[in-house]
Amino acid sequence: MIRHQYDPVRCILPPDVLERIAQHGDEEQRRRALHTLARDNSLRSIRAQNAILRAQGVKQITQETREPGTPDRTIYDCATSEDLASARVARAEGDGPTGDVTTDEAYDGLGATYKLFWDIYQRDSIDDEGLALKGYVHYGDNYDNAFWDGQEMVFGDGDGQLFNRFTIAVDIMGHELAHGVTEDEAQLVYFRQAGALNEHFSDVAGSLVKQYLLNQRADEADWLIGAGLIAGAEDQALRSMKAPGTAYDHPLLGKDRQPDHMDKYVKTMSDNGGVHINSGIPNHAFYLAASIIGGYAWEVAGRIWYETMRDPRLRPTAQFRTFARITLRAAQRLGYDSSSDEYKAVQEGWRGVGLEI
């Protein structure tokens, strides 16, 4: 018999457990797993369901075939409700602009994110199997936030006094979608350093989406996250990968607290152990590496970082130092050996934030 732990909040068996049940569970365990899975119709779940059904000798579920290389987007309008189930389809894949600014920004932003991952990294959507991209806009009443909830991306309109709408910058859509990629690949736990790495990859993805869209080289990019989001201070941003700690200075919001070096690491229990704060450190390392390498940041530095996220040695609880070491492994796997300029640039990037590897 297998002993396994259910996530009590979300009641979703983690993927590796599903696989083990499919292979080794007894009939009762397989039946129970199938029952849970049947409520989740993501592709991951369908793969797992098929594995269980195969073991039972039952006909498998088929998924409508589509060609990889194009996104499958649906934008839903929550009309200020927080109940996603009540949202209406505002724009489906292939539909033209609706005239609702945030709907069209979400549609375009998800498309731009899909395009970066497909064109450059040959990744077919969040799960690399063409997962449908669902964006929910006009979520909540004056909701000052955006998030990824494990299945879809959700965007508030902001309150108009502190924050504008959360689709105003394309990197925000990239950031949220990348949380899905991280969940699919590395499962970095959203707490303390591992969580800051999770946040970091989302900022890297967000920034690269913007740079790719604008065809900017590393030295042309502004390396800002959330530029234009602060109401009345649209020249400011939420985060700067180039200069953490300088993105905003606002009478109500305060000052950007991000560190740019390990010496300034912030120990806190707020913000899941400071995940949005300490992400500044790896963000700056990426900026430095990409800037030293030169050219388009998504080509070498971005590829090294993406391969790092896919390395099985990157554990969910990885610390900054381990992640940094794996970026060097990834560089070598991509053909940049330790005597190459690219490898040294990555080392230099980490050295610049106080991590000697």
Chain residues in the site for other proteins (CB under 8 A): 9, 144-149, 163, 166, 172, 175-176, 179, 189-191, 195, 198-199, 202, 226, 229, 238-239, 253-254, 269-273, 275-277
* Closer residue to other proteins, CB minimum distance, 275 or 355: 275
Query: From the CB of 146, what's the least distance to other proteins, in Å?
Result: 5
Q: Do residues 175 and 225 make contact, with C-beta atoms less than 8 angstroms apart?
A: yes
Catalytic residue among 175, 200, 276, 284: 276
CA–CA dist 134, 149 (Å, integer): 11
**CA 18 to CA 30: how far, in whole Å?**
9
**276 closest CA partner among 286, 288, 266, 290:** 266
How far apart CA 180 and CA 228 sit, in angstroms, is 24
Alpha-carbon dihedral of residues 38, 40, 43, 49, nearest 10 degrees?
-30
For residue 134, give the 3-state DSSP assignment: strand
Nearer to other proteins, 33 or 189 (CB): 189
DSSP-H helix ranges across 63-185: 101-121, 170-185
Catalytic annotation present for 276:
yes
> Nearer to other proteins by C-beta: 25 or 180?
180
Both tokens assigned to 206: 């967000």
**Up-side HSE of residue 59: CA atoms within 13 Å toward CB?**
2
Which residue number, 109 or 273, has a Cβ lying nearer to other proteins?
273
Tell me whether residue 10 or residue 31 sits nearer to other proteins (CB atom).
10
Cβ 160 to other proteins shortest distance, Å: 14
- Amino acid 334 reads L
Q: Is 176 a catalytic residue?
A: yes
| Residue placing its CB nearer to other proteins in the complex, 74 or 182 | 182
- Please identify which of the residues 105, 138, 175, 176 carries the catalytic annotation: 176
Residue 291 in contact with residue 163, Cβ under 8 Å? no
Nearer to other proteins, 108 or 149 (CB): 149
CB atoms within 10 A of CB 330: 22
User: In the block, which residue shows the tokens 């971005």?
Assistant: 302
CB of 47 to other proteins, least distance (A): 23
**Which residue type is seen at 33?**
A
Q: Which of 305, 261, 259 is nearest to 286 (CA)?
A: 305
Q: How many CB atoms lie within 10 A of CB 57?
A: 6
Which burial class, exposed, middle or buried, applies to 16 when counting CB atoms under 10 A from its CB (0-12, 13-18, 19+)?
Answer: exposed
State in angstroms the smallest separation of the CB of 250 from other proteins.
9
For residue 92, what are the β-bridge partners? 74
CB of residue 137 to other proteins, shortest distance in Å: 14
185's tokens: 């690949």
CA distances from 289 to 210, 313, 319 (A): 18, 22, 19
Nearest approach in angstroms of CB 217 to other proteins is 27
Residue 313 CB, nearest approach to other proteins (Å): 22
Positions annotated as catalytic residues are: 176, 276
